[in-house]
Structure 1
Amino acid sequence: MRGVEAAFAAWYEVEKGRFASEALRQILTEVAPAERRLAASLLYGALRRQSLWKDLIRNRCRRPFHQLAPVTRAALILGTAGLVELRHFVPAVLMNALAMRLRAEKAQGDEPLLHAVLHRVTEDAPRKMEQLRNSAELRDQALLFGIPGWAAAHWSREWGTSETRRLLRLSAMKAYLSLRVDPTRRDELVEALQAAGTRAWASPDLASAVRTASFGFPPGLPGYEEGAVTPMSESSLWVGEAAVSSWSGGAVLDLCAGRGVKTGHLATRLPEATLEAWDLSAGRVHAGAREMARLGVADRVTFREGDALELEPRTPPSLILADVPCSGSGTWSRHPEAKWRLAAEKLEDYAVLQVRLLERAADLVLPGGRVVYSTCSLFREENEKVVAELLGRRKDLVEVPFPFKNSLFRKGRPYGTVIWPGLPWVDGFYAAVLMKRR
C-alpha cells in the first residue's frame, strides 16, 4: 500500500469514530517504511485544520460539499492539506495519486472538479491564510489554526484573549513521539533508536523519557516488542510520576485505566506494588491485559471490566490514580480528530461524571492514602472546578503540592497544576494530588 492510499484508508476509519493513531497503527503494517511518514503527514495535516480546509474548499467548489461522494470529499481535504502544508512533496505527484484513488472507487467523473478546486485552493490559500493571521477577530484565529470556534471563545473567558491566541497556535502544533523507557537503559535505547534511523535523544526534563522527531510507528521501534519502550507523552509521564511519588506502600488502583498506558507506568516503577485496573470497555480491558504481558508485569496487575462507580476493589487501595474520561482538549495537537467530535454541551456531562468518579476514589482510598486526579483537558470545568466542588464538601480531603516543578507548569486556580502544551512532546494536562485525612 502506498502512502496516499494509506491516508485514505485511515481517513475512512477516523470518520467511523476510530482514533487516528489507532487507525494508522493498524494500516501502516501494510505500508512500506518509506511511505509511512507521508501517510501520517497527510492524515494529521488534514485533521489538524479540517475546518480551514473545508472553508477553502466550499468557497471554491460549485457543488455543495456534503453532496459529493465520500472519496471526493476525502480527496479534496487530503489534497488541500497536502498542497498547502507538505513542503517536500511534488504537487503533480499528489494530484495524480488523488485522481487514481477516485478512479479506484469509481468516482472518476469527479476528476475535473478535483483538479479545478485544488488549483483554485493552491492559488488562493496563501492570501486567505494571511488575512486570517492578521485578523484581530478570535474566530478568524480559530479558523486559521483549526480550533472549533466555541472552544476558542470558552478559552478566552478562562485564559484571556492573549493567552488564548497562544493556545490556539500550540493546539495546531505538530506533535512528536515521546517514549517511556527504563532510566537505567535510556542511553542504550537512544543509541538503538538512532541506529535504526529514528532521530532520538534523552529528554532534559524526565529521566524516563526519550524524545523523537518522528510521528512514530511503535511496533517497528527497537525495544518495543520486549517492553523496553512505550509511547507516552511527557505530560502523561509527569502525572504517572506524581502517582509514583505518592505511593507509600499498599495496593494501587487505576480507576479508569483505558488501554493501560499509565497502569504499565505504575507497574514498572513500583515493582513491589500490586495493582488493580478498571475500565468500562471490554476491548480496552483486553488491550490493557496485552499491554501488561508486553511489559512483563501481568503477574502483578489485575484488569477488571466494569463501572468504576460500582466495582469494589479486591484490596483496599492506599493510592488511586483517577485519570478520568474528559474532553481531551489538551491533546488536540496529538489527537486532532477529537476536537471535531466534541460539542460545548458535552463539557457539562463530563464534569458531572468527573465529580462522581473523584468522589468514588475519595471513598475507596484508605485514610492516609492519596488520590491523583488528572485529565488531558484545558477546560476549568473538568479540572479546578471539579476538585473545588469536592473539597468544598469533603472535609476529610486536603490538597498536597504537586511533587515536580517545570517552566510549563502553572498553578491551578486555585487547585491543582496545569501542564501547558508548550512542546511537541508535551500535551495539555491537569493534575491534583489529594490526601485523605486519617
Structure 2
Amino acid sequence: MTPAARLSAAIEVIHTIDAMRIPAAQALKEWGTSHRFAGSGDRAAIAGLVWDVLRRRSSSAWLMDEDTPRGRVLGMLKLERGMDAGAIAALCDGRFAPEPLSEAELTALTSRSLEDAPAHIAGDYPEWLDAHLAAVFGDDRVAEATAMASRAPLDLRVNTLKAKREKVLSSLKHLGAGPTPWSPIGLRIGLGADARNPGIHAEEDFLKGAIEVQDEGSQLAALFSAAKPGEQVIDLCAGAGGKTLALAAQMQGKGRLIATDHDKRQLAPIHERLSRAGVHNCDVRTPKGEADPLADIKATADLVLIDAPCSGTGTWRRNPDAKWRMRPGALEVRLKDQIEVLERAAGMVKPGGRIAYITCSVLPPENGEQVRGFVARHPEFAPVPPEETASVLWDRAEDFAAAALRSEEGWLMTPRRTGTDGFFVSVLRRK
C-alpha cells in the first residue's frame, strides 16, 4: 500500500471507531481481517496513524475546525507528524487516497494553531480532568499532557536472576537496544511513528527468562520498595506478575514472596512467567470463593507492595483511546478500591515494615491525597523520605530528584520529566 492509501485506510478505521463506538484495537483487527491484501507493514503503519489520531484527537479537530475522522487525521499529520500543508496535500490526490484538500482545509493547515485553544484541547484530555491536572502541574499541564500523548518506547527489564545488563545489551544490539536513563537493570528500544513492535517474545533472551517487557517507571517503582533477600514480601495486587518478578529478582531468590490478586483471572499468566524467570521462592495464592488467601498474614510482613487499581492516566501514551472513555464515576470507584487495599495491607505489616503504594496515575486524589488520608487513619505509618527511597539509583539519584516531582508523600514520574510512564510511588513505614 502507498502512504496515501494507508492514510485513507486510517480515516476509514477512525470512522468505524466513531460510528460503532468500539475500542481502536478491535476496529483495527476487524479492518485487517476484511483487507487481507494489507501486509504486516501496512497494518502497522495504519495502526500508528490511528493511535496518533487518538493521542491528538481534540487538538487535531481544533486545528482543522472540523471534528470528523478526516479532519482529525489531517490535523494530526501537522501536529504529531510535523508535516506541512504541501506534504499533506501531496498525500491527498484522490487516487486510492483521500480526496484533495479543500480551500478551508488548506487555510486551516497554513494559518490555524493551538495558541488560543483551551488547556484540555491543546493537551488532548477530557475537560473534566482539567482541575485535577492543574492541581499537580499548574501552567505546565498542557506540556505534561502533550508528553503523555506521545508514543512510548519499548522498555525491558533484565532479570538479574539469570543475566547481566551488559550481556543482554550486546545480544539485543540488532534491535537498537540501549540502557534506560534511570533504571540500572533496564533496556530501551526507541520506536518511530510507523515502526512495528520488535518480536521480543521470539528472542532467545526472552525465551530463557533473561528479560521481561516492563516500563522503566514500573521498574523504578519496584526498586524504590527496596525488597531485600530474606524478607517476607507480599505483592497484594500482583495481576500478571510484572512487579512480582521484579521483587523476586531483588530478593535474589531468598526469603518468602507471596503474590495474590482479588481477580484470579488476572493471575493466570503469572505461573508460566515465574517458571521462565527461574523464580522458586514465590507462593501464588489464588482466591477461592469468599475465603481470604492471606488470612494467616497478620503483622508479619516486611513489605507489602500495592500496585493499586487506578485510573491509568499515566499510561495514556500506551493506551490513548482509554482517556476518551474515562468518566468521573470510574475515578470514584478506583478511589474506594485504593482505600480498601490500603486498609487490608495495614494489618499485614510488622513494626518497622513498610507498604509500597504505587499507581500508574498522575491525579492527586489517587496519589498524595490518598496517602495523606491513609496516614490520618493510621498514624502508626509515616512516609519514608523520598530521597531515601531514590538512593537505590546510586549515582543517578540526584539527577532523578531534579527531574521527578517530589512531595512529602513520594515521587511522581511523568513522560515529560523522567521519560517514563506516569507513576506515583510512596513508601510508608510502620513505626
The bucket for the TM-score relative to the shorter chain is: 0.7 to 0.9
Please state how far the C-alpha of 1:296 moved relative to its aligned partner: 3.1
Q: 2:265 aligns with which of 272, 278, 283?
A: 283
Amino acid at match of 2:173: Q
Q: 1:187 aligns with which of 166, 184, 196?
A: 166
Map of 2:404 onto structure 1: 409
Do residues 170 (structure 1) and 147 (structure 2) align? yes
Map of 2:177 onto structure 1: 200
1:257 and 1:323 in contact (8 A); partners too:
yes
Return the structure number with greater helix share: 1
Do residues 382 (structure 1) and 366 (structure 2) align? yes
Map of 2:219 onto structure 1: 237
Please state how far the C-alpha of 1:297 moved relative to its aligned partner: 2.4
Evaluate the alpha carbon distance shift between residue 36 and residue 382 of structure 1 in structure 2; reply closer, same or farther with a 3 A threshold. Answer: same
Please state how far the C-alpha of 1:200 moved relative to its aligned partner: 1.8
Do residues 353 (structure 1) and 337 (structure 2) align? yes
1:399 and 1:433 in contact (8 A); partners too:
yes
Q: 1:255 aligns with which of 236, 244, 257?
A: 236
Q: Deviations over 1:228-283 (max 9, x none)?
A: 2222111111111122x144633321111122111111123321133222223343
1:275 and 1:300 in contact (8 A); partners too:
yes
Evaluate the alpha carbon distance shift between residue 33 and residue 201 of structure 1 in structure 2; reply closer, same or farther with a 3 A threshold. Answer: farther
Please state how far the C-alpha of 1:52 moved relative to its aligned partner: 3.1
Q: 2:282 aligns with which of 300, 304, 321?
A: 300
Q: Deviations over 1:43-65 (max 9, x none)?
A: 321221122345567x548xxx6
Q: 1:426 aligns with which of 420, 424, 428?
A: 420
Map of 2:350 onto structure 1: 366
Amino acid at match of 1:51: S
More displaced, 75-84 or 173-182? 75-84
Map of 1:109 onto structure 2: none
Aligned CA-pair RMSD: 4.0
Please state how far the C-alpha of 1:180 moved relative to its aligned partner: 0.5
Q: Deviations over 1:293-325 (max 9, x none)?
A: 332326634152479995425555321111101
Evaluate the alpha carbon distance shift between residue 55 and residue 416 of structure 1 in structure 2; reply closer, same or farther with a 3 A threshold. Answer: same
Evaluate the alpha carbon distance shift between residue 123 and residue 355 of structure 1 in structure 2; reply closer, same or farther with a 3 A threshold. Answer: same
Return 5+ residue gaps in structure 1 as ranges.
Answer: 66-72, 101-113
1:246 and 1:370 in contact (8 A); partners too:
no
Map of 2:126 onto structure 1: 148
Amino acid at match of 2:157: R
Equivalent residues in 2 for 1:11-410, closer than 5 Å: 16-17=22-23, 34-35=41-42, 37-55=44-62, 59-60=65-66, 81=76, 85-86=80-81, 115=99, 121=105, 124-128=108-112, 130=113, 132=114, 134-135=115-116, 139=118, 141-161=119-139, 163-182=140-159, 184-195=163-174, 198-214=175-191, 216-217=197-198, 218-221=200-203, 223-243=205-225, 245-247=226-228, 249-270=230-251, 271-297=253-279, 300-305=282-287, 310-312=292-294, 316-402=300-386, 403-404=389-390, 405=397, 406=400, 407-410=402-405
1:408 and 1:422 in contact (8 A); partners too:
no
TM-score scaled by structure 2?
A: 0.77
1:254 and 1:322 in contact (8 A); partners too:
yes
Q: Deviations over 1:121-175 (max 9, x none)?
A: 46523533x2x1x22x5x2x431332222223322234322x2233233222332
Please state how far the C-alpha of 1:12 moved relative to its aligned partner: 6.0
Q: Deviations over 1:323-381 (max 9, x none)?
A: 10111122222322221121234333322221221121111223332110011111111
Return 5+ residue gaps in structure 2 as ranges.
Answer: 391-396
More displaced, 146-155 or 258-267? 146-155
Map of 2:394 onto structure 1: none
1:76 and 1:118 in contact (8 A); partners too:
no
1:371 and 1:433 in contact (8 A); partners too:
yes
Amino acid at match of 1:428: G
Amino acid at match of 2:430: K
2:238 and 2:307 in contact (8 A); partners too:
yes
